[in-house]
């Protein structure tokens, strides 16, 4: 097992005592038998706690809402998939024939889930502090690139300033759906902006909240494409 996964283990910076845990963390349900879903469930919680604690300590000037936005950007599917590609998890995934043929080894959802399962496996095998070490190791560059001044700006302002800096047009927000009783409505909007491959959606209990969520997603997508997270 060690030889087969030697390169991945080196990138994680961790050696497993239970050799079966990593294999399970890399096994998709399409393969049959034991798979990564339970470990993914656990890893998702461990990741959320580690990231929350890390940014809480690193950015004492950020409010609860600002910390929430930072955490959401770090643990979103696209961010996890990027990290999984960085350590080439796709090369080690155990997939069923159908998923292999359809390119599951490079699908964002599978890569993100598998990485969370690996975090869960490290937690089960070595405890919380070892899981923290692995997570912080993989997130080092992402954490270092966070600009607190940019986080403090609300998402719509941050997106508009970013687009202006790139000499692109202003974003537009289109209402897609309003549901619920008048006193408890739910809004769905889409943000259309130059550089996005397709509009992104946001939801919330008010139009403003939905637009802010859509803007945050649009900004995160654009800056991931360009590698410029500082807006």
Q: CA–CA separation, 40 vs 61, rounded Å?
A: 32
- pLDDT above 70 for 105: yes
Average pLDDT for residues 3-9, to the nearest whole number? 87
Beta bridge partners of 187: 178, 204
Strands 172-179 and 186-192: antiparallel
175 three-class SS: strand
Q: Which of 36-45, 86-95, 208-217 has the highest mean pLDDT?
A: 36-45
CATH for the 6-146 domain, from 2.60.40.1180, 3.40.640.10, 3.40.50.261, 1.10.1520.10: 1.10.1520.10
Q: Helix or strand or coil: residue 35?
A: coil
pLDDT classification of 77: cutoffs 50, 70, 90: confident
- By 3-state DSSP, what share of the chain in percent is helix, strand and coil, each rounded to 5? 60, 10, 30
Catalytic residue among 40, 44, 99, 190: 44
pLDDT score of 102: 80
Please give the span between the terminal C-alpha atoms of the chain, in angstroms, as a whole number: 43
pLDDT at residue 182 is higher than 60: yes
Length of the chain: 231
Three-state DSSP state, 188? strand
In the predicted model, is pLDDT for residue 228 greater than 60? no
pLDDT of residue 112: 93
The answer, yes or no, to whether residue 229 has pLDDT greater than 70, is no
Distances (CA, A) of 211 to 51, 62, 75, 159, 178: 25, 21, 21, 11, 13
Phi-psi region of 95 (alpha: psi -120 to 50; beta: other; left: phi over 0): beta
Which pLDDT score is estimated for 230?
Answer: 42
CA–CA distance, 187 with 64 (Å, rounded to integer): 23
**Catalytic hit among 40, 99, 113, 116:** 116
Question: Which tokens sit at 75?
Answer: 């643990």
pLDDT band at 231 (very low <50, low <70, confident <90, very high): very low
Q: pLDDT value at position 153? A: 76
Strand-pair partners of 175: 189
Both tokens assigned to 40: 């993914």
CA distance 26 to 213: 32
Domain boundaries along the sequence of the chain? 6-146, 153-226
Burial degree of 141 (CB within 10 A; 0-12, 13-18, 19+): exposed
Structure tokens at 183: 């006193």
Mean of the per-residue pLDDT values for the chain? Answer: 89
Q: Is 116 a catalytic residue?
A: yes
Q: Is 129 a catalytic residue?
A: no
At the topology level, CATH places domain 153-226 in Double Stranded RNA Binding Domain (3.30.160)
| Confidence bin at 136 (pLDDT 50/70/90) | very high
pTM of the entire predicted model: 0.68
């Amino acid at each position: 097992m060690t030889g087969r996964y030697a390169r991945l283990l080196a990138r994680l910076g961790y050696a497993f005592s239970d050799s079966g845990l990593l294999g399970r963390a890399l096994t998709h349900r399409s393969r049959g038998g034991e798979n990564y879903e339970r470990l993914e469930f656990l890893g998702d919680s461990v990741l959320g706690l580690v990231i929350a604690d890390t940014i809480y300590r690193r950015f004492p000037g950020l409010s609860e809402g600002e910390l929430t936005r930072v955490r959401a950007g770090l643990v979103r599917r696209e961010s996890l998939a990027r990290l999984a590609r960085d350590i080439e998890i796709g090369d080690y995934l155990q997939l069923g024939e159908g998923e292999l043929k359809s390119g599951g080894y490079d699908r964002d959802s599978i890569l993100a889930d598998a990485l969370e399962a690996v975090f869960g496996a490290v937690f089960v095998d070595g405890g919380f502090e070892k899981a923290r070490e692995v997570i912080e190791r993989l997130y080092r560059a992402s954490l270092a690139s966070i600009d607190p001044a940019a986080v403090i700006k609300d998402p719509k302002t941050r997106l508009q300033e970013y687009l202006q800096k790139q000499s692109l047009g202003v974003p537009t927000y289109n209402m897609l759906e309003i549901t619920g009783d008048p006193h408890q409505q739910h809004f769905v909007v889409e943000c259309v902006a130059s550089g996005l491959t397709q509009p992104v959606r946001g939801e919330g209990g008010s139009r403003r909240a939905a637009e802010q969520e859509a803007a945050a997603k649009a900004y995160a997508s654009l800056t991931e494409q360009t590698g410029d997270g500082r807006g």
